Structure 1
């Protein structure tokens, strides 16, 4: 569908990415089109599956102060068991399968470094994990 996006669609998407709560009237003014055109474009982009929804961005220093990415190598055919165990850890935000050196990539968030150390210890104790490597996320580059 992205091939069918014209310049107006792309500009509208850019404005919505910056602030998805911008009123249609303000979007129309910024794009120099009518409010109805903006609303019709948004509806068309939603129906075609280009826009899947609108969301809220939280400050990275918000609720949990320490964020990290852990890359995991799974032993043998234990992937399903490892993923299930990871999902039971409250500090695990997301789990992704991947290719290459690592089998899984896990996002971890905790309140502080002590909590992070404890979460990492529990993660490393999961049966079926052969190796892991963790990188703290320091600052989002904008």
Structure 2
């Protein structure tokens, strides 16, 4: 269970995942050992921090082709389709959903050509009945 200190530490790490432990400890007004122990606990297998990542400047991401692909699956093939999608580096996330579509895949490619090839390869996955894809033109931070 997370306490207030854990939540504040996570907020600081979200803002700067490379912040030194000493700087985090000073901001939280606790010892370096306390911060390091909590980071170790939260990053251990099964912990609430599953990894660290980078954020690129918006102008760097603007040239990428990002899209949402909705996927209808034949029968009970969801697990096999999700497993196949894990093999695509262009697939950032896969979400299960209800309604007309079974899955939503977030796609991210360097070029329109790579995007087209990715769509063609995904549509060949055994168990996919149909797809519909929308390119993301702009995003707004809320």
Please confirm whether the aligned pair reaches a TM-score higher than 0.5, indicating the same fold.
Answer: yes
Matches within 5 A, 1:46-61: 46=43, 49-59=46-56, 61=60
- Once the 2 structures are TM-superposed, how far is the Cα of residue 49 of structure 1 from its aligned partner? 4.3
Say whether 1:65 aligns with 2:64.
yes
The residue that corresponds to 2:122 in the other structure is: 123
Point out where structure 2 has 5 or more consecutive residues left out of the alignment: none
Say whether 1:134 aligns with 2:124.
no
Say whether 1:17 aligns with 2:14.
yes
- More deviation in 25-34 or 124-133? 124-133
Runs of 4+ aligned residues of structure 1 deviating over 6 Å after TM superposition are: none
- Once the 2 structures are TM-superposed, how far is the Cα of residue 23 of structure 1 from its aligned partner? 0.8
- Once the 2 structures are TM-superposed, how far is the Cα of residue 25 of structure 1 from its aligned partner? 1.0
Q: How does the TM-score come out when normalised to structure 1?
A: 0.71
In the alignment, is the contact (CA less than 8 A) between 2:70 and 2:103 conserved in 1?
yes
Say whether 1:114 aligns with 2:123.
no
Q: Rg larger in 1 or in 2?
A: 1
Pick one of 29, 34, 37 that aligns with 1:32.
29
Paired residues, what number? 138
Alpha-carbon distance between aligned partners in 1 of 2:78 and 2:53, rounded to the nearest angstrom? 32
Alpha-carbon distance between aligned partners in 2 of 1:45 and 1:19, rounded to the nearest angstrom? 16
SS at match of 2:101: coil
RMSD (Å) for aligned C-alpha atoms: 3.1
In the alignment, is the contact (CA less than 8 A) between 2:43 and 2:51 conserved in 1?
no
Q: Deviations over 1:7-53 (max 9, x none)?
A: 22211111012122211110111122232332233344446944434
Point out where structure 1 has 5 or more consecutive residues left out of the alignment: none
